[in-house]
């Protein structure tokens, strides 16, 4: 941690640190395996990984707000057109267009203000649910809530946006010519132009809904595929216990290793324990140590400057750890009683390392040596190969990995150590935690204990994707509802306004099918235009989801086709009731009313 001096840029600091790293390399030679240093702003280090997720959340809010505003504009246009006769009378009595617009503007403001109170009350519960669902990796999550500033900002937004989106329809409605409107009994006026505007609003809602539904579909498919990933271990019925021994009590690594050796022997006798082993960092915990190594027959000079290509995750473990985690031994063996302190150091590698560095060669009996991963870095004889596991992220392929015996290389036992305990079927976590805690207290009551479940670590590893899918899915569902309301509203209004025309057509012999085509034809163009625009928008914007996708592309054709089909089906469902009502119009009743 460092504070930049006044006037020093990040680039200048990076150049200076690179020079220092090169000097350390030249001074310490092969004992120093770091050839560079990265200067990262603390703010970026803290919140950088969460920025994209929060921007996506903000974008979802924005597009749903836009869909809501389109619905507001549609409703204002429908209400205003329905009041054409009233507005024409007001104009005939001397009211100017500006006064008509102001009246409609005030009415919209009253409606918006009435919605603010309900919205703010609902947001309190929704924000709590959002925070509960959000991954813990988002910094300062505990500070998220509704306060005076957010309430005022939301209230202002809730009032201003309906007014802005209601202004254009109000102005258009005010253009009605009083004489023509009164002569037609309020049935024409701005109907043609108003109909086009309403169809435009519906097209916007359909496009937005398609965009969000496509995003939710891509994320949903990726999340389901991620859940089916083979992790390489069985997290069910596995407890984890994280411990850190105090350095004042265990100044030597050998002392810490002997403590853990006794602990493993005692923990294995607890009823309900099927297998117990330890490791310095379990998979999906977010902790790992990666270092460069050389193979027998190589020299450090052979891999100098090529550490990334010839490196592996370095783990210190016990022999029973593999059984406790449910890992599969592919070849050879794991650690056993012969691998004692002072004996020939051995190692177990994973299949990824065997494929990369021992292709076509049996790695058993070969030797490997790390640089700087321990206080001593001896040659390690490979005695076994285990199946690959996803140790960083279920979405990332397995990386080369090496396990060493904690009794032979005990240095890392003085830091974080995790014990993996596999339970026998039928035993509860709570009862076993209590028994294990008692066993550890008999060894050293001063060591802090932190129990967890392995399935919890797996859930945390997928929390970001789960949260993103849930939020975008909720926005997509809301956008579908808004789109359905828009389609229903325009068709219901069309049926009401054109009931006289429909009655005359049916009196002259028009069939129900013809009436259905007439009514639905008023919105089919808007639905088609919205679907086309939504597909184009989704193709351009879903690329921002690529970092959240797994085993799926942002332009997956089946997802786009499915989202379009969903929008068409929702539109048909919303249109069913108005069309049914139009087909049941009785010509005699309509003509008698006229």
Give the pLDDT of residue 90. 74
Q: Which two tokens stand for residue 158?
A: 């809730």
- The per-residue pLDDT for range 526-547, each reduced to its tens digit, is 888 889 999 998 888 887 888 7
Half-sphere exposure of 338 (CA within 13 A, CB side): 6
Task: Write a three-state SS string for 397-432.
Answer: CCCCEEEEECCCCCHHHHCCEEEEEEECCCCCHHHH
Nearest 5°: phi and psi at 346?
A: -125, 165
Residue 305: pLDDT over 50: yes
DSSP for 331-349 reads EE----TT--TTS--EEEE
How far apart CA 489 and CA 526 sit, in angstroms, is 13
The answer, as to whether pTM is greater than 0.85, is no
Task: Compute the 3-state secondary structure of the chain and give helix, strand, coil in percent, each to the nearest 5.
Answer: 60, 10, 30
Give the pLDDT of residue 178. 61
Give the pLDDT of residue 188. 43
Mean pLDDT of 39-51: 84
Q: Is 242 left (phi over 0), alpha (psi -120 to 50) or beta?
A: beta
What is the residue-averaged pLDDT of the chain?
83
Half-sphere exposure of 387 (CA within 13 A, CB side): 14
Least confident of 225-229, 280-284, 406-410, 490-494: 490-494
Q: Are 552 and 222 in contact (CB under 8 A)?
A: yes
- The per-residue pLDDT for range 545-577, each reduced to its tens digit, is 887 888 888 888 999 999 999 988 888 888 888
Give the pLDDT of residue 191. 47
H helix intervals, 463-546: 463-497, 499-507, 512-541
How far apart CA 276 and CA 55 sit, in angstroms, is 43
Least confident of 81-95, 223-237, 262-276, 317-331: 81-95
Task: Write a three-state SS string for 128-151.
Answer: HHHHHHCCCCCCCHHHCCCCHHHH
Q: Tell me which residue of 271, 234, 97 sits closest to 178, measured CA to CA.
A: 97
According to the per-residue pLDDT averaged within each range, which of 85-94, 217-226, 326-335 is highest?
326-335
Q: Are 47 and 139 in contact (CB under 8 A)?
A: yes
Percentage of residues of the chain with pLDDT beyond 90: 31
How far apart CA 296 and CA 302 sit, in angstroms, is 11
Mean pLDDT of 5-14: 93
Mean pLDDT of 211-233: 89
3-state secondary structure of 386: strand
According to the per-residue pLDDT averaged within each range, which of 3-17, 175-189, 502-516 is highest?
3-17
3-state secondary structure of 346: strand
Q: Which two tokens stand for residue 189?
A: 């006026």
- The per-residue pLDDT for range 237-284, each reduced to its tens digit, is 999 999 999 888 888 999 999 999 999 999 999 999 999 999 998 888
How far apart CA 99 and CA 266 sit, in angstroms, is 87
Q: Are 577 and 224 in contact (CB under 8 A)?
A: no
Strands 346-350 and 380-386: parallel
How far apart CA 3 and CA 1 sit, in angstroms, is 7
Percentage of residues of the chain with pLDDT beyond 70: 88
Give the pLDDT of residue 441. 93
Q: Which two tokens stand for residue 139?
A: 């910094």
Tell me the pLDDT band of 591, cut-offs 50, 70 and 90: low
Report the chain's terminal Cα–Cα distance, integer Å: 83
Give the pLDDT of residue 183. 57
Report helix angle 191-227 to 557-583, nearest 10.
140
Q: Are 121 and 32 in contact (CB under 8 A)?
A: no
How far apart CA 425 and CA 433 sit, in angstroms, is 15
According to the per-residue pLDDT averaged within each range, which of 66-70, 225-229, 393-397, 436-440 is highest?
436-440
- The per-residue pLDDT for range 114-144, each reduced to its tens digit, is 777 788 888 888 888 888 888 877 777 778 8
Tell me the pLDDT band of 189, cut-offs 50, 70 and 90: very low
Please compute Rg for the chain using Cα positions: 34
Mean pLDDT of 578-583: 77
Mean pLDDT of 361-370: 93
How far apart CA 470 and CA 238 sit, in angstroms, is 28
How many CB atoms neighbour CB 572 within 10 A?
14
Residue with tokens 């939504």: 534
How far apart CA 366 and CA 383 sit, in angstroms, is 8
């Amino acid at each position: 941690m460092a504070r930049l001096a006044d006037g020093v840029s990040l680039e200048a600091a990076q150049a200076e640190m690179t020079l220092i790293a090169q000097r350390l390399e030249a001074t310490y030679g092969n004992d120093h395996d770091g050839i560079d240093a990265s200067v990262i702003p603390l703010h970026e280090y803290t919140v950088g990984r969460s920025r994209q997720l929060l921007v996506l959340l903000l974008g979802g809010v924005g597009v749903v707000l836009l869909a809501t505003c389109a619905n507001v504009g549609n409703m204002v246009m429908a209400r205003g057109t329905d009041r054409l006769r009233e507005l024409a009378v007001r104009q005939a009595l001397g009211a100017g267009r500006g006064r008509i617009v102001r009246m409609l503007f005030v009415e919209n403001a009253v409606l918006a203000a009435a919605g603010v109170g309900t919205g703010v009350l609902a947001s309190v519960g929704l924000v709590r649910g959002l925070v509960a669902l959000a991954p813990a990796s988002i910094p300062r999550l505990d500070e998220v809530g509704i306060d005076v500033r957010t309430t005022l900002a939301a209230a202002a937004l809730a009032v201003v946006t309906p007014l802005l989106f209601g202004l254009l329809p109000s102005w258009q409605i005010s253009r009605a010519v009083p004489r023509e409107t009164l002569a037609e009994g309020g049935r024409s006026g701005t109907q043609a132009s108003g109909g086009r505007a309403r169809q435009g609003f519906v097209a916007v809602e359909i496009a937005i809904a398609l965009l969000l539904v496509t995003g939710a579909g891509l994320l949903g498919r990726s999340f389901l595929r991620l859940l089916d990933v083979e992790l390489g271990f069985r997290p069910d019925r596995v407890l984890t216990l994280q411990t850190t021994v105090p350095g004042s009590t265990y100044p030597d690594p050998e002392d810490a290793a002997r403590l853990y050796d006794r602990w493993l022997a005692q923990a294995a006798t607890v009823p309900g324990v099927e297998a117990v082993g330890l490791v310095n960092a379990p998979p999906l915990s977010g902790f790992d140590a990666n270092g460069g190594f050389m193979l027998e027959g190589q020299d450090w000079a052979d891999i100098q400057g090529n550490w990334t290509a010839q490196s592996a995750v370095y783990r210190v473990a016990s022999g029973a750890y593999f059984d406790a985690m449910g890992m599969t031994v592919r070849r050879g063996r794991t650690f056993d009683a012969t691998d004692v302190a002072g004996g020939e150091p051995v190692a177990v590698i994973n299949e990824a390392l065997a494929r990369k560095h021992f292709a076509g060669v049996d790695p058993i009996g070969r030797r490997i040596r790390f640089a700087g991963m321990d206080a001593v870095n001896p040659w390690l004889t490979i005695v076994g190969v285990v199946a690959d596991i996803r140790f960083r992220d279920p979405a990332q392929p397995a990386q080369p990995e090496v396990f060493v015996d904690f009794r032979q290389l005990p240095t890392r036992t003085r830091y974080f150590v995790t014990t993996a305990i596999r339970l026998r079927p039928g035993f509860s976590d709570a009862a076993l935690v209590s028994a294990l805690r008692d066993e550890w207290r008999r060894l050293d009551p001063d060591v802090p204990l932190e129990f967890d479940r392995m399935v919890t670590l797996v859930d945390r590893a997928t929390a970001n994707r789960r949260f993103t899918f849930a939020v975008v899915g909720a926005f997509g569902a809301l956008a579908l509802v808004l789109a359905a309301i828009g389609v229903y509203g325009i068709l219901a209004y069309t049926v009401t306004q054109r009931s006289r025309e429909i009655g005359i057509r049916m009196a002259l012999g028009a069939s129900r099918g013809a009436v259905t085509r007439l009514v639905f034809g008023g919105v089919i163009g808007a639905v088609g235009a919205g679907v086309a625009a939504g597909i184009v928008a989704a193709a351009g914007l879903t690329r921002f989801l690529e970092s959240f996708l797994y085993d799926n592309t942002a332009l997956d054709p089946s997802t786009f086709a499915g989202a379009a089909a969903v929008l068409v089906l929702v539109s048909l469902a919303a249109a069913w009731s108005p069309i049914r009502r139009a087909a049941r119009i009785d010509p005699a009743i309509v003509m008698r009313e006229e």
